[in-house]
Structure 1
Amino acid sequence: MGFDVRHLRLVAAIGRAGNLSKAAAALGISQPAVSCQLSRLEKQIGYRLFERHDTGAAPTPMGESLLRRVDAVLPLMDDLLTDIEQRTMADAEPAVLRVGAVCSAIVGRIGGLVAGAVQGATVSVQIDDCVLRLLDMVGDRRLDLAAIKEYPGYEHALPSSVQVTAFMIDPTAVLLPELHPLAARDVIQLTDLRDEEWVLHPVDSSRFHEYLFATCAQLGFRPNIIHQCKSEDATQQLVRSGAISLSQAGSPGHGPGIACRLLGRNALARKHVLAWRRDGLIDTVAADLVSELKTAYWHEARRSPLFDHWVREPGEWELEESRGPIAV
């Protein structure tokens, strides 16, 4: 037999509720209908999925095994059905505006700003640090908008119909042990780090590592990346133990034992970029949204302990760089 989405929703609802009546309420059908559907499903697959008793329904070992898979599969099915629905209604306004974003100083503000720009819209935000995946999702209509980061000279190729605008460029900060000799300076030059042991995120689609190694090569050295770490907490532990790392200057301060200093001469600066489809709803509000994002950026940046070191000339950090796919 084959499962359909209705079967998956039934099993998931009973598993979450632990009770047929509560599962029925969640599904919007009657309790006898839930009981009948479950019995029919169990008969079809040849296994009992839930043991019914006076206080509820408990999954059998087979039920537990199925629930684990349902929890993984059902969100994918829901996303697929939503994607199909929105593709077949391309000319209609989407019920939910789907926004993707990488981690940044403005990630907590973008959902509200999009909702404000598109009056009456419900906004769902997905955080994902894979830039290529976010751009692809905008291109094939799984996202309506993405807020990403790019690096000067290492921008990404764009899917068909996708437009991007870089609206801010911000500097990079160095994280180092509080008692490190370089911590006595307000600004640290990239060449000062040539003999340090580094901890960075693993190589990903952002192209940052290409940018870093090319920049350091121009200065005559290769960064000594000893540690690779995705966890911010673990990175900070390694920094307290003697490594150095990099961070967005616009991010909040870090924990005890760590000094955060500005990297000089705009070395390794990054661009904040908005990506959307030219044939989508966001295209009509993109200019206003970019303006609001600039304001939000400065509001959030003031939380950074380095704020005063790079905002003496705020205009130099604001951009208006737009591009679309390169014609082949």
Structure 2
Amino acid sequence: MSELELRHLRVIRAVADAGSLSKAAVRLGVSQPALTAQLQRLERRVGGLLFARTGTGVVPTDLGSYVLTTARVLLAEVDDLMAGIKQRTRTAVGAGQLRVGGPPGLIVPLFATAIALRLGGAEAAIDIDMQPAELVRKVLDHKVDFVILEENPGFRTPLPAALHSRVTLSAPLFVALAETHPLAGRGEIDLADLAGESWVVPPVAEGTEQLAFVRACAASGFVPRIKHQMTDSTTTRALVQAGAVTLAKPVAREGNGLVIRAIAGTPLRQEIVLVWHAEHTPADAAEHAPASLLSAYARLTDTNPLFAAWWSEHAPAAATG
């Protein structure tokens, strides 16, 4: 059996306290399908059912009750430990230090550098995490001042009332395929023309991209054949070079056997959401953050010609309130 982590115990506690997956998903800041998938993986990890489904929600099984009892004790001790650490290090975190979180890639360090310069050369630190819910939690726990979320319209990560957010960028998602693919010669590809392809997409538990993708495919009249679910960019690139296809972020880099092509009608978009704490993030930092994030994206216009063309046309109106 694989080891349980603290984040797993928090999920189990949240589901038990809420009494339903939908309510727990709101509390955890994730979608219900993502939470369901995560709980199923946890149950496979421990080798048994943790919750039984009822007509009104879920209740812990005997195994779930056993895990939950110990989880509550451990999490309470960890919360006390973290509170003590936070109290003892609060002065060390002091003025002039800025902490930024977000997904892997170039944009987080570029944003951290840009906003630090706008704030007079403040020291910047970054925190990389694939899971939007974990990033949101870090803002709530004051571990970071800002996080960048890569979201999809209609599938936003729920945010607690204490947090502020702003959609700073809304750009089209593209498709990446091997330069030897039969459709690689097209400048624009209909999503329906990719119905028979083997797709590589991120798992539901690590973002909303797969949910948005499946909805767009349904609107185009087909169910996609998702053969691989992963977020590792190196492995994804290798699979695409071998013949699979995948969605490409707006700033995905073309080359090394891969080409980036537009999807006809722009059925999929990525929203870049900036999140900060309403009370604990310094006001001057919050004021400069959106422009700093846009300036960071401006430095990535050389990643692929499609994003460069989109940026030149839409950048002045890219920030939406």
Q: Same fold, TM exceeding 0.5?
A: yes
Q: Secondary structure at the match of 1:184?
A: coil
Aligned mates of 1:281, 1:98 — CA distance in 2:
10
Deviation at 1:182, TM superposition (A): 0.9
| Contact 1:83–1:141, Cα closer than 8 Å, also in 2 | no
Q: 1:267 aligned to 2:270?
A: no
Q: TM-score, normalised by structure 2?
A: 0.68
Cα deviations by residue, 1:87-136 (Å, 9 ceiling, x for unpaired) = 6x7xx955632211113452231221231233353221011111110011
Cα deviations by residue, 1:33-70 (Å, 9 ceiling, x for unpaired) = xxxxxxxxxxxxxxxxxxxxxxxxxxxxxxxxxxxxxx
Instruction: List runs of 5+ in structure 2 lacking aligned partners.
Output: 1-78
Deviation at 1:150, TM superposition (A): 1.1
**Equivalent AA in structure 2 for residue 202 of structure 1:** P
Greater than 4 Å deviation, 4+ residue runs: 76-82, 92-95
Corresponding residue for 1:183? Answer: 184
**Equivalent AA in structure 2 for residue 231 of structure 1:** D
**Equivalent AA in structure 1 for residue 291 of structure 2:** S
Aligned mates of 1:300, 1:318 — CA distance in 2:
15
| Contact 1:173–1:246, Cα closer than 8 Å, also in 2 | yes
| Contact 2:177–2:246, Cα closer than 8 Å, also in 1 | yes
Q: Secondary structure at the match of 1:302?
A: coil
Aligned residues: 243
Aligned mates of 1:103, 1:247 — CA distance in 2:
14
Alignment of 1:40-51 (within 5 A): none
Aligned mates of 2:201, 2:193 — CA distance in 1:
17
| Contact 2:260–2:304, Cα closer than 8 Å, also in 1 | no
Change (3 A) 1:304 1:108: farther
Change (3 A) 1:124 1:213: same
**Equivalent AA in structure 2 for residue 267 of structure 1:** P
Deviation at 1:316, TM superposition (A): 7.7
Corresponding residue for 2:127? Answer: 126
Change (3 A) 1:282 1:228: same
Instruction: List runs of 5+ in structure 1 lacking aligned partners.
Output: 1-75, 322-328
Aligned mates of 1:226, 1:94 — CA distance in 2:
48
Aligned mates of 1:82, 1:283 — CA distance in 2:
25
Aligned mates of 1:86, 1:144 — CA distance in 2:
16
Identity of aligned residues (%): 28
Q: Secondary structure at the match of 1:147?
A: strand
| Contact 2:103–2:148, Cα closer than 8 Å, also in 1 | yes
Q: 1:318 aligned to 2:318?
A: yes
Corresponding residue for 1:13? Answer: none
Change (3 A) 1:78 1:295: farther
| Contact 1:196–1:244, Cα closer than 8 Å, also in 2 | yes
Q: Secondary structure at the match of 1:133?
A: helix
Corresponding residue for 2:297? Answer: 297
Alignment of 1:220-259 (within 5 A): 220-256=221-257, 258-259=258-259
Change (3 A) 1:252 1:78: farther
| Contact 1:167–1:294, Cα closer than 8 Å, also in 2 | yes
Based on CA coordinates, which of the two structures has the bigger radius of gyration? 1
Change (3 A) 1:276 1:190: same
Alignment of 1:95-114 (within 5 A): 96-114=97-115
Aligned mates of 1:253, 1:108 — CA distance in 2:
21
Aligned mates of 1:122, 1:318 — CA distance in 2:
27
| Contact 1:139–1:160, Cα closer than 8 Å, also in 2 | no
